[in-house]
Structure formats: C-alpha cells, structure tokens
Amino acid sequence: MGAYTGYIATAYGVTALVIMGAIFLVWIAYRRARDQAAALESAIVERVAKVAPIALFAILALTLWFQLEGRKAFDDMPDKIRTGEPAPDMALPPLDTRTASFSGADLRTGQVTVVNVFASWCIPCRAEVPQLVQLKQVYGVRLLGMAYKDKPADARAFLDDYGNPYDRVGAIDGSGAIEWGIYKVPETFVIDGKGRIRGRFGPLDDESLKNQILPAIQEASRS
C-alpha cells in the first residue's frame, strides 16, 4: 500500500511538472509573439512616418495641378465655343415641388437672365453664394439655377443651408449638360433677352462679379 501511494504521488508530481512546463512554454510563445507583433507594428509605423510626408506632398501637388489644368481648360474652351450662340431650347424638370423650373422660352423674354449651374457636392458653389445673392438683391438680376447631377433632397438641403438666390431651379442630368456644354461646376451663363449666350464664367468672387459678370450683363442688355 505504501508503494502504491508513493507511485500515485510520483505520478501526480510528474503531471504537475508537465502542466507547469506546458504553461511555461505557452507563456514563452505568447511573449515571443507579442514582441514580434510589437516589432512589426513599430516597423509599420516607422515606414508610414517616412512615406506619409511624400504621399501628402504628392496629393497636394496633384490637387494643384488639376485645379490649374481645369482653369486652363475652362479659359481655353467654353467661352469661345458658346458666346453668341442661342442657349439650348430645352425644358428642365423642376428640382422639387417647392420651386418651378424653366425652359428655353423663359430665356427669350426680352430680359437679361443669369443661369447658374451648381451642385450640393461642389465646394466652390458654396463659396459663390454671396455673389449670387448680391446679383439678385442688389442688382435685381433675373437668376435661374440648374442643379447639376444632384439628388433633389441634397440640392434642396444645400439651398436651405446656404441660401436660395434663384427665381427658379431646374434639375439637369448628363444629357442636358451635354446640350449646354457643361463639364464642371460651378458655371454661370449671361443670356440676353433673345436667348443668346453673352458670357460664360467659372467660379464667382467679388473680383469676377465686378469685372466680368456685371459688364457682361450690361452688354447683354444693349443687344
């Protein structure tokens, strides 16, 4: 009986040592995995820290290039193509039930009309709202809006948030934009009383309002 008891005790002791050894090995493996993960994380952070300034510079450079090229393309193309031509004779659907739309006939009423193309997703469109409000409230210009490839709810939220200077607002899709020759927003058209385009301009600011839009409106009123 004493030998059997000693055997059992020895077996329990060996089992305990095996379990402790297994636990120790698992702990060693965990520490090694944790150290390797930390080293990998540190290497990734270090690499990102080295690459991030280069990537940021590249993004800023590309953004500036696209802006310059877009402005150059705008200056070189549309105004030379469309000035003096009749505005497209097409009826646009209304933006929603809160506003009426317009058609080509509404541009041939004998009154100078300014048509502005905007979109809720267009950041420069937000910046030019004060100039559009000034056109309407200070100079009494007839101002029509075209929401370009926009969801009606988003365009309406834009007008509610930033102000609605338009007498009427129509929704224009890709095919309508082709008829008007629109390829970017914002754009502003000055149209004489016979429905002919007398000026076409990019984003508005105080300088362009004074030196381009208002002179174009005055010239259109004399034609």
pLDDT tens per residue across span 187-217: 999 999 999 999 999 999 999 999 999 999 9
pLDDT above 60 for 69: no
Strands 142-148 and 113-118: parallel
Greater model confidence, 63 or 115? 115
Q: 138: helix, coil or strand?
A: coil
Greater model confidence, 55 or 134? 134
In this predicted model, what pLDDT tens digit does every residue of 74-129 receive, in sequence order?
Answer: 455 444 456 889 999 999 999 999 999 999 999 999 999 999 999 999 999 999 99
The pTM score is 0.64
Greater model confidence, 172 or 46? 172
Greater model confidence, 60 or 77? 60
For residue 74, the model assigns a pLDDT of 47
For residue 183, the model assigns a pLDDT of 84
Residues 118, 148 contacting (CB under 8 angstroms): yes
Rounded CA-CA distance 45/181 in Å is 48
In this predicted model, what pLDDT tens digit does every residue of 164-173 receive, in sequence order?
Answer: 999 999 999 9
The token duo for 213 is 């839009």
For residue 39, the model assigns a pLDDT of 72
Task: List the one residue out of 193, 218, 220, 223 whose CA is nearest residue 110.
Answer: 193
For residue 66, the model assigns a pLDDT of 44
For residue 32, the model assigns a pLDDT of 77
Order of strands across the sheet with 197-201?
168-172, 142-148, 113-118, 187-191, 197-201
Q: State the amino acid at position 134 in one-letter form.
A: Q
The token duo for 57 is 């510079």
Structure-token match 């469109």, residue found = 125
